[in-house]
Amino acid sequence: MIRSMIRLGVILALFAGLACAGLAVVYSITGPVIAQQQQKDLEAALKAIFPDSDGFSDITPELAGPDPKITIRNGYVMKKGGSTIGAAVKAIGPSYSAGAVVLTGIGTDGKVVRAVILELNDTPGLGANAANPNYFVDKPNKITFMGQFAGKSLGDPFTAKGDVQAITASTITTQSIAAIVKASGAAAKAYLDTTGGAK
Amino acid sequence: MSRRLSVFLQGLVIENPLAVIMIGLCSALAVTTSVANGIGMSLAMTFVIVASELIISLFRKLIPESIRMPIFIIVIAAFTTMVDLVMKAYFPELSKAMGVFIPLIVVNCIIMGRVEAFASKEGPLDSTLDALGMGLGYTWVLVGMAVVREILGNGTLLGFPIMPESYQPILFFVLPPGGFLVFALFISLNQILKKKWLESPLGCPDPEGGK
């Protein structure tokens, strides 16, 4: 009985070991490419929010989010010619299907510069329209769902169908994204206030 | 008809994993909201099933009966993780669109079912053919459903608008109930094909292959 259990255990360990070896090989090839890809995505996203910036530095450990459901992943302070022009915060929060990742840029005046969705798995045609550049919540002015956050003051309530225009039939997505933007904004503003934007 | 060919053809219509065996449905209904997702999911799933059936068939005599399930899961999970990593590295856009469904291939019942019912008993060549047949059977139903749902529900095909400007997308089709409806239509389509197939010379009952 014991012997057969040991035999089965050893066989299982052998299979697991082989699988590990295979995965290690694939990971060692793809790992650097994935890291590079993520770095490129991040730089492109930061550049899209602060086109004037000429550099950024990581301030992740100094940030604290006000909402326990929304996790602050990373934060960056954006520089231009040595002076701070704002901060960008990447945060993940619950949305309709899975977690949504949003990058929010806050200017030194405490207003949202721009917010961009990095990851969203909500229903195509509904919630996914939050990230669709051709879906306008304000059709005459061609303002996209994320576009409406630009210039918004952090003191606003950020409620769906209130001061945030909702995506048709997707109030949950609307509210979730708005909450992530608000929480990220608050974290970034707290940082900018304590450092006086002079760091 | 040769036995090998019939092993391969089984999965396409007669034993289509989605429309006849009806397993692996939840991810199928979830990803068919757009054609690009459908194609990505089908390719990933076909790769994993072919690789897993081949490996398990090669090692089938070394796998003790009592611990076959954990070993199957290890093999399937290893291949799925490889697909996930490769997609993240070289097709980041597709990987983002597929989200959680790639890791979920691990628990896709089609792969587990075919590994258990076929690859653990048959030789490597037959197992590969079975896996290819099942993979293609999965692919045509998945991509077909995605085409119908994306055109009707979003007015686009592969992201390009193809319906006239005035067309108001029927959101129903991208929502789960629409998915069930379209799936039901594909089950009936497959039944018609199956009937035609069995009447044609291709479908002659084969004493060895037609299980």
pLDDT means per 10 residues, chain A with 199 residues, are 89 92 93 87 82 79 77 83 82 84 85 84 77 78 83 80 81 86 85 66
For A190, list phi and psi in degrees, rounded to 5.
Answer: -60, -40
Q: Is residue B208 part of a domain?
A: no
Of chain A, the percentage scoring pLDDT greater than 70 comes to: 97
Closest Cβ–Cβ partner in B71, B154, B175 for A15: B71
Instruction: Quote the pLDDT of residue B99.
Output: 67
Residue whose tokens read 């390009």: B160
Q: How many CA atoms lie within 13 A of A199 on its CB side?
A: 18
Q: Are residues A124 and A30 in the same domain?
A: no
Q: Is residue B207 part of a domain?
A: no
Structural domain for B61, as ranges = 3-202
Lowest mean pLDDT among A133-142, B63-72, B83-92: A133-142
Q: Is residue B211 part of a domain?
A: no
Task: Report d(CA B150, CA B174) in Å as an integer.
Answer: 7
Q: Are residues A61 and A123 in the same domain?
A: yes
Q: How many domains does chain A have?
A: 2
**Rounded (10°) angle between helices B124-154 and B176-199:** 130
> pLDDT at residue B209 above 60?
no
Q: Are residues A8 and A85 in the same domain?
A: no
Chain B hits for A102, Cβ within 8 Å: none
- Contact of A125 with chain B, judged by CB distance below 8 Å, is answered with yes
Q: Are residues A108 and A191 in the same domain?
A: yes
Q: What is the ipTM of this complex?
A: 0.71
Strand-pairing partners, residue A112, are A106
Task: Report d(CA A197, CA A193) in Å as an integer.
Answer: 7
Q: Are residues A23 and A83 in the same domain?
A: no
Q: Are A12 and B71 within 8 A, CB to CB?
A: yes
Q: Are residues A100 and A125 in the same domain?
A: yes
Size of interface A-B (CB pairs under 8 A): 75
> pLDDT at residue B43 above 80?
yes
Structural domain for A3, as ranges = 1-49
Chain A hits for B63, Cβ within 8 Å: 11, 15
Categorise residue A128: left if φ over 0, alpha if ψ from -120 to 50, beta otherwise.
alpha
Question: Residues 137-176, chain A: which have Cβ within 8 Å of B?
Answer: 169
> pLDDT at residue B204 above 60?
no
Chain B hits for A7, Cβ within 8 Å: 64
Per-residue pLDDT tens over the stretch B120-173: 888 899 999 999 999 999 999 999 999 999 888 888 888 787 877 777 888 888
The per-residue pLDDT of chain B, averaged, comes to 85
Per-residue pLDDT tens over the stretch A146-165: 888 888 887 788 887 778 88
3-state secondary structure of B132: helix
Instruction: Quote the pLDDT of residue A126.
Output: 79
Q: Answer yes or no: do A33 and B89 touch at CB < 8 A.
A: yes
Q: Is residue B24 part of a domain?
A: yes
Q: How many domains does chain B have?
A: 1
Q: Are residues A29 and A108 in the same domain?
A: no
Chain B hits for A31, Cβ within 8 Å: 85
Q: Are residues A12 and A67 in the same domain?
A: no
Q: Are residues A123 and A43 in the same domain?
A: no
Instruction: Quote the pLDDT of residue A193.
Output: 80
pLDDT band at B1 (very low <50, low <70, confident <90, very high): low
Q: Are residues A93 and A149 in the same domain?
A: yes
Tokens of B79: 């291949």
Q: Are residues A127 and A173 in the same domain?
A: yes
Q: Which of B40, B33, B11 is nearest to B135 (CA)?
A: B11
Task: Report d(CA A75, CA A60) in Å as an integer.
Answer: 5
Please state whether the predicted TM-score (pTM) of the whole model is above 0.80. no
> pLDDT at residue B207 above 60?
no
Closest Cβ–Cβ partner in B82, B92, B99 for A26: B82
**Rounded (10°) angle between helices B124-154 and B3-10:** 30
**Amino acid at residue number B14:** I
B100 or A19, higher pLDDT: A19
> pLDDT at residue B203 above 70?
no
Instruction: Quote the pLDDT of residue B183.
Output: 93
Q: Minimal Cα–Cα distance from B85 to chain A, Å?
A: 6
Q: Are residues A144 and A183 in the same domain?
A: yes
**Rounded (10°) angle between helices B124-154 and B35-58:** 170
